[in-house]
Amino acid sequence: MNGPRPNDRSRAYQRMGVAAIVGTGLVFIWRSLADLPLGTIENPGPAAIPLALATLLVVFALWSLKTETSSVFDPGEAADDAAAEPGALRHAILVLVAVTAAAVAINPLGYRLTMLALLLFFLGVVERKRILVVLIVSFALSFGSYALFDHLLKVTLPTGPFGI
Amino acid sequence: MADTLQNLLLGFQVVLTPSVLIYAFLGCLIGTIVGVLPGLGPLAGMSMLLPISFGLPPTTAIVLLAGIYYGAMYGGSTTSILMRIPGEAASVITCIDGHEMARQGRAGPALAIAAIGSFVAGTGGVVMLMLLAPPLASLALAFGPPEVFALLLMGLLVLSYISSGPMPKSLTMAALGLLLGMIGIDPMSGYNRFSAGIPELADGLGVIPLAVGLFGVSEIMLTFGARVMRPMKPRLTELVPSREEARSSVGPIWRGTVIGFLIGIIPGSAHVLSSFVSYAVEKRLSRHPERFGKGAVEGVAGPESANNAAASGSFVPMLALGVPLGPVQAILIAVLIVLGITPGPLLITQHPELFWGFIASMYVGNLVLLILNLPLVGLFVWFLRIPYAYLYPTILLCCIVGVYTVNSSMVELLIMAAAGAAGYLLRRLQYDVAPIVLGYILSPMLEMSFRQSLAMSGGDYLIFFHRPFATTLLAIGVGVLLLDIAPSLLRRRAHQTAD
């Protein structure tokens, strides 16, 4: 059985994207009406402009979908790339997970240990570089950048266990 | 004129101090590296270095960031010529004839012509900026909230029209940016809007996490499997153009300077547009248009000059009106605000050292870039040899440290990660994310000017149509919108008539 054709898949991706944007607009409309005073037409309140902008967001998103579907459809190189390179999505997810983990870890672990872990992960686990090079680059970048920012540029960065 | 020269002298006194000169040099160097590395544009480079600028005096901070911007304009041409890979969007057109010259063994002269053209155009652009910005600022003093609102609205509409994607998609992104700018405390009523009980969101999402996420992190997420590049490496002795090449470049460089500066004033990514227009003009004016695409030196000189002059022109609305009509200028305005400087028409009179220091720094920057770009071309080419496997974790580290150092906030790092994910998805779906950042920065100004206008008129919406400047600006915005809508409406009518 054949899977969906690239054109169908691209259209589906575009629709999902528009649905997400419309959803965002609807959430803003809902919260504007639920939490904030609308004011009057002569004197708009704090909800008025967000409400108008969220409505515009929904309208523009639907308009963009309409122009996509009514035009001669370009398969959409971006969406097709994803199919052509299955590793691309994995790479994107890895980057996102690593950045999120670093964000959560930076206060308890400190800057140097967090960055060291991040670099060891990317160079050692993801890119599988030689262990000695991985260690040298990771230590040099994490501790070197700390020295640059903390000592030279006087930008305070968090320290973790044992003052590292 | 005497006043202008006196003020310029003040600017040079500000800039020609060791600390400012060092940062001007650093900005140009980093900008050139950012321009050379494909994918990393001036926006990503500026976003990553924003936090460093917050610890600097305002003039130094602006000189550093502006140096990155026009350094990237210069650097973008190197990869276009040597590898047919544009380091920056404005250098796309240089790939055509620049790389063809390189293939014919004329890489050195192509690089030299690009650098000299960029220098002449950059300097010429600054002269025009210096002469145009002060009178425009005086005119802008007559601007009230209705005019500011109309100008911002027009800017967003023009940006959406000329940005890389279809207009509805760009408008969607601008609306999203404006909406995201509503998060946080409303300055007029004190209500905390859409912050979901997170105290860090009371001040908004923050332009730095948003910009670094949308441009920096998403770029890394998108560039899977980037290869190590093996560019050509011309020697210093090969850089001198022939007499014929030099003669053929003079006209295109001057025309590119004027075209670029004028287009640069248009909101949005005008530097990209200017290089395309310049190429088209040179091809049209050439006695041998068939040489274009086969290594015509005019095809390098014109566009490279135009995109650098456009970089100067794009500062006119920012310096004269205090209104950023492009994402790069929006970031510079954000820096000024963070540093306690109110951008606007009064900037020139209230902070002459900043305005004229900035102008003088552009002269110095252009000279630094000429010196950097010709003898050190080998060094910049070396950056392209760093394996991507080492490059992207380093860039990620810069993104994280850059965002964290602003407020030492974990929440801002999470906002950066979320913006990175959103930027990745949106760019895969071929949305241009630049209008998000511009919309986000303009959002408070737009809302404030709108509500102030209504307060002034006692709730009468016709205030926008009773004032000539505001009406003209709104008419331009609506005209641009119609330019996009009209063709499809006409096509539909033609289809209906045919049926």
pLDDT digits (tens, 9 = 90+) for B186-212: 988 899 999 988 998 998 998 878 888
Tokens of A14: 């575009």
| Highest mean pLDDT, choosing among A31-45, A147-161, B210-224 | A31-45
Beta carbons within 8 Å of B361's beta carbon, 6+ residues apart: B11, B15, B20, B24, B59, B62, B63, B66, B67
Q: What is the pLDDT of residues A101-142, one digit of tens each?
A: 999 999 999 999 999 999 999 999 999 999 999 999 999 999
- d(C-alpha B261, C-alpha B305), whole Å: 10
Residue B226 exposed, middle or buried by CB count within 10 Å (0-12, 13-18, 19+): middle
DSSP characters for B384-395? TTS-HHHHHHHH
State the amino acid at position B303 in one-letter form. P
- d(C-alpha B473, C-alpha A29), whole Å: 29
How many other C-beta atoms are found inside a 10 Å radius of the C-beta of residue B225?
A: 9
Among B146, B347, B450, B177, smallest CA distance to A43 is for B450
Inter-residue contact B127 to B316 (CB < 8 Å): no
Measured between its terminal Cα atoms, the distance across chain B in Å is: 65
Q: Do A60 and B168 touch (CB under 8 A)?
A: yes
- d(C-alpha B261, C-alpha B270), whole Å: 9
What does each C-alpha distance from B92 to A37, A125, B85, B244 come to in angstroms?
49, 36, 8, 25
Q: Do A44 and B451 touch (CB under 8 A)?
A: yes
Beta carbons within 8 Å of B38's beta carbon, 6+ residues apart: B79, B85, B86, B87, B226
Residue A73's pLDDT is what?
42
Tokens of B127: 């002269």
| Highest mean pLDDT, choosing among A134-143, B244-253, B398-407 | A134-143
Mean pLDDT of chain B, nearest integer: 82
Residue B417's pLDDT is what?
96
Residue B267's pLDDT is what?
64
How many other C-beta atoms are found inside a 10 Å radius of the C-beta of residue B138?
A: 13
Instruction: Out of B217, B393, B451, name the one closest to residue A119 (CB).
Output: B393
Q: Which residues of A touch B171 (CB under 8 A)?
A: 56, 60, 63-64
* H or E element, residue B78: helix B58-83
Whether pLDDT at A79 is above 50: no
Inter-residue contact A90 to A127 (CB < 8 Å): no
Lowest-pLDDT choice from A50-54, A108-112, B47-51, B431-435: B47-51
Whether pLDDT at A7 is above 80: no
Inter-residue contact B350 to B360 (CB < 8 Å): no
- d(C-alpha B175, C-alpha B170), whole Å: 9
| Highest mean pLDDT, choosing among B258-267, B276-285, B356-365, B447-456 | B447-456
Instruction: Out of B55, B186, B404, name the one closest to residue A46 (CB).
Output: B186
Whether pLDDT at B182 is above 90: yes
- Put simply, the chain B residues between 199 and 258 with a CB less than 8 A from any chain A CB are 217, 220-222, 224-225
- Put simply, the chain B residues between 282 and 341 with a CB less than 8 A from any chain A CB are none
Helix axes B270-285, B298-313, angle to 10 degrees: 140
Residue B416's pLDDT is what?
94
Residue B207's pLDDT is what?
82
Beta carbons within 8 Å of B187's beta carbon, 6+ residues apart: B444, B448
Q: Which of B180, B195, B401 to mutate to test the interface with A (most CBs of A within 10 A)?
A: B401
Percent of chain B with pLDDT over 70: 91
Q: Give the model's confidence band at B38: pLDDT under 50 very low, under 70 low, under 90 confident, else very high.
A: low
Residue B414's pLDDT is what?
96
Residue B39's pLDDT is what?
58
Q: What is the pLDDT of residues B267-283, one digit of tens each?
A: 655 667 788 888 888 88
DSSP characters for chain A? -----HHHHHHHHHHHHHHHHHHHHHHHHHHHHHHS--B-SSSB-TTHHHHHHHHHHHHHHHHHHHHHHHSPPP--HHHHHHHH-HHHHHHHHHHHHHHHHHHHHHHHH-HHHHHHHHHIIIIIIIS---HHHHHHHHHHHHHHHHIIIIIIS-------GGG-
Mean pLDDT across the stretch A60-86?
62
How many other C-beta atoms are found inside a 10 Å radius of the C-beta of residue B127?
A: 16
- Put simply, the chain A residues between 123 and 162 with a CB less than 8 A from any chain B CB are 123, 127, 129, 137, 141-142, 145, 149, 153-158
Beta carbons within 8 Å of A114's beta carbon, 6+ residues apart: A102, A105, A106, A160
Tokens of B186: 């409303």
Q: Do B224 and A88 touch (CB under 8 A)?
A: yes
* Distance (Å) from the alpha carbon of A92 to chain B's nearest alpha carbon: 4
Among B281, B236, B234, smallest CA distance to B254 is for B281
- d(C-alpha A118, C-alpha A110), whole Å: 12
CB-based contact, B430 to chain A, within 8 Å: yes
- d(C-alpha B438, C-alpha B348), whole Å: 23
Q: What is the pLDDT of residues B307-354, one digit of tens each?
A: 888 888 888 878 777 777 677 788 888 787 777 777 777 777 888 888
Mean pLDDT across the stretch B99-104?
83
Tokens of B357: 């220091």
Q: Give the model's confidence band at B384: pLDDT under 50 very low, under 70 low, under 90 confident, else very high.
A: low
Residue B437's pLDDT is what?
83
Inter-residue contact B430 to B424 (CB < 8 Å): no
Tokens of B484: 């996009």
Q: Rounded to 5 degrees, what are φ and ψ at A84? A: -70, -35
Mean pLDDT across the stretch B70-75?
79
Residue B188 exposed, middle or buried by CB count within 10 Å (0-12, 13-18, 19+): middle
- d(C-alpha A16, C-alpha B399), whole Å: 29
Among B271, B206, B221, B210, smallest CA distance to B433 is for B210
- d(C-alpha A33, C-alpha A91), whole Å: 40
- d(C-alpha A21, C-alpha A15), whole Å: 10
- d(C-alpha B422, C-alpha B416), whole Å: 10
Q: Do B225 and A87 touch (CB under 8 A)?
A: yes
Residue B320's pLDDT is what?
79
Inter-residue contact B215 to B433 (CB < 8 Å): yes
Mean pLDDT across the stretch B24-28?
87
How many other C-beta atoms are found inside a 10 Å radius of the C-beta of residue B306?
A: 40
